[in-house]
Amino acid sequence: MRPHLTAAVAGLFLFAPTLVHAGLYYSGEEIAELPSQWRGYLIDQRQLRTIAVKPTDANPVTPIRKRYQDEADKLAKSLKNGTLSPDEIADLGAVYLRLGETAKAIEVLSPAQRDHPQNFRIAANLGTAWQLSGDLDQAAACLEQSAQLAPGRYQRAEKLHLRLVRLRRTEPRDWKDVDDLFGVNYVGADGKYAMGRLDDAQRKALPDDAPALVQQLGLWLPTDGRLLWQMGELAAVNGDVTTAAAILDGCVTEFGLRSPELRLHRKMLRQAADALAASSDPNAQPTHDANSFPLKPKSSRPLLHKTDLVELPPIDPKGVNVLPWTVVTETVVDRKFHPDFPPYLKELDGKQIQLTGYMQPLTDDQQESSDFLLIEYPVGCWYCEMPQVTGIVLVELQAGKTREYTRGKLRITGTLKLNAKDPEDFLYTIKDAKAVQMDE
C-alpha cells in the first residue's frame, strides 16, 4: 500500500450529523451541526466565497455560481409576479448576498421588512446586507430586531453577530486587529502572545460553544478575513498549532490582511507547527494541556448540499475538462473499500482533465519528486488534518519531470485514471501530468 493510504481509509466512516438551518438564512443551504472539523469547515467556507466571484473570459462561470444565479432569476421573476412568500423573499435576498449583489439584496429586503416586520429571516438577512454595504448603523438596527425575533437555537449566534457589528461601528476606520468578541485577546497576562494558552480569566470568558458560534458567523460572512483570523486564534486555543498556522497563512496570502499583530502570531504559530512536524514522533497530534480549550467537532464539514454537481459542462472527449473537487469527493466507498464513482467522474476516466489543489509529498522528506498527492485545501499537519481517501488524488508527472515541494496552489493537467479494483492503491491518478504554479 502506498504511504498514508491506510490512515486515510481509517477516517472514512463518520457519523451523520444532526441537520439544522443555519448560515445566511437561505432554505437552499443545509448546514450540519457545528462546530465542524477545521479542515472541512475551511473547504466549505472557501466554496461559499467562490459564489461571489464574477466570471471573466479567463475564468468562466462556475457551476455553483450558476446555480445561485439561476435561483435568483427564478425567485426574482416570482417576486415580480407577486407570488413569493416572506420566507422566499428572504431567500432571494440571501442568494443576492451570496452572489455579491448587496444593493439588490437591500432593494428586495428593505420593503419586505416594512411589510413583514416580524419575519426573523428577513430582518437577519437585511442586517447582513447593510453590514456588507458598510452601513453599520442600519445593520445594528436590523440585527437588534433579528436577535429579538430569533428562535432559541439561533439567538446566541444572532447576538454575537450584533456584538461584532457594534464593535466595528466604534472602531477607527483603519482598525486592523482581531475583534474582541469574547473578552479574550489571545495574549498572556504579560501582554505577549502566548499561542493560545489561556489564563483563568480568559478561560472563564470563552464560552464552550465559541468555535461553533464563530464558524456560524464565518458561514454568514465568508469573505470576512478578520473572522477567519478569529478562527485561527480559536484553533490555537484548541491546542492545534498546525491548523492555526495554516489559517493565519490564509489570512495573509488569501485575504491580504496586514496587521503587525497577525503577522507576529502567524510567525510564532508557523515556528511551533514546523517544530511539531520535525519532532521525533511522526504521528504527533495537537497538544491539549490544562490551558487549552480542545475542539469537540460535531460534523466533518458544515455544508450538506451538493451545489457543484448541478449544471456540469458537457465532457469534451478530445479536450481538457475542468474537474470540480465536489465531483471527486462524491465518490462513495463501502466497508469493503469498493468505490462507487459518480457517473460524471466515470465518463472522465481515461480523458484529459484539469484539477487545482495543493501538493502533499508521498514521503516525509519533502524533496523533489516525480509523483505526489493533490488535495483540495492545504493542511498544516497531514496526520492531524488528512482528507478522507475520496479527497486524495495521486499525480504522476510526465516521464523525466520532477517538482520540488511547494505550499502554493497548483493547476494539474493530465489523464485521469480511476481505480475500482485495487484497495492497495489510490482511487484516482492523474497520469502524464503537467503541474503549473497558480498566482493567488
Here the CATH number for the domain that contains residue 209 is 1.25.40.10
Compute and round to an integer the Cα radius of gyration of the chain. Answer: 22
The domain of 273 spans 18-303
- Chain centroid to Cα 136, Å, comes to 25
The residue to which cell 466554496 is assigned = 47
Alpha-carbon distance values, 359 to 63, 380, 407 (Å): 24, 12, 7
Question: What is the number of structural domains in the chain?
Answer: 2
pLDDT reported for residue 311: 62
For 164-215, give the secondary structure using H, E and C. HHHHHHHCCCCCCCCCCCCCCCCECCCCCECCCCCCHHHHHHCCCCHHHHHH
Q: What is the pTM of this model?
A: 0.70
The residue to which cell 439561533 is assigned = 154
pLDDT reported for residue 104: 98
Alpha-carbon distance values, 68 to 104, 239, 247, 252, 408 (Å): 14, 37, 27, 29, 29
Nearest-10 crossing angle of helices 120-133, 152-170:
20
Domain boundary among 281, 303, 325: 303
Query: Does 1 map to a domain?
Result: no
Query: Does 3 map to a domain?
Result: no
User: Are both 272 and 153 inside the same structural domain?
Assistant: yes
pLDDT reported for residue 365: 65
Cell of 396: 504522476
CATH number where 330 lies: 2.40.50.140
Rounded Cα distance between 390 and 378, Å, is: 16
Query: Does 8 map to a domain?
Result: no
User: Are both 397 and 274 inside the same structural domain?
Assistant: no
Half-sphere exposure of 8 (CA within 13 A, CB side): 24
Cell of 205: 470568558
Query: Does 11 map to a domain?
Result: no
The residue to which cell 455553483 is assigned = 64
Q: Which regions of the chain are under pLDDT 70?
A: 1-23, 188-190, 279-293, 305-311, 364-366, 379-386, 439-440
User: Are both 104 and 246 inside the same structural domain?
Assistant: yes
User: Are both 136 and 275 inside the same structural domain?
Assistant: yes
The residue to which cell 490555537 is assigned = 236
Query: Does 308 map to a domain?
Result: no
Rounded Cα distance between 245 and 383, Å, is: 15
The residue to which cell 448540499 is assigned = 305
Domain boundary among 255, 277, 303: 303
For Cα atoms 244, 210, 237, give the angle at the middle one, nearest 5 degrees: 35
User: Are both 230 and 365 inside the same structural domain?
Assistant: no
- Short-list 100, 73, 17, 6, CA closest to 301: 17
Domain boundary among 269, 303, 337: 303
Query: Does 57 map to a domain?
Result: yes
User: Are both 282 and 336 inside the same structural domain?
Assistant: no
Query: Does 254 map to a domain?
Result: yes
pLDDT reported for residue 439: 60
pLDDT reported for residue 113: 95
pLDDT single digits (tens) 287-340: 555 556 678 888 878 887 554 445 678 999 999 999 988 889 888 887 778 899
Establish whether the linkage from the previous residue to 35 is cis, with ω within 30° of 0.
yes
- Asked if 373 contacts 395 with a C-beta cutoff of 8 angstroms, the reply is yes
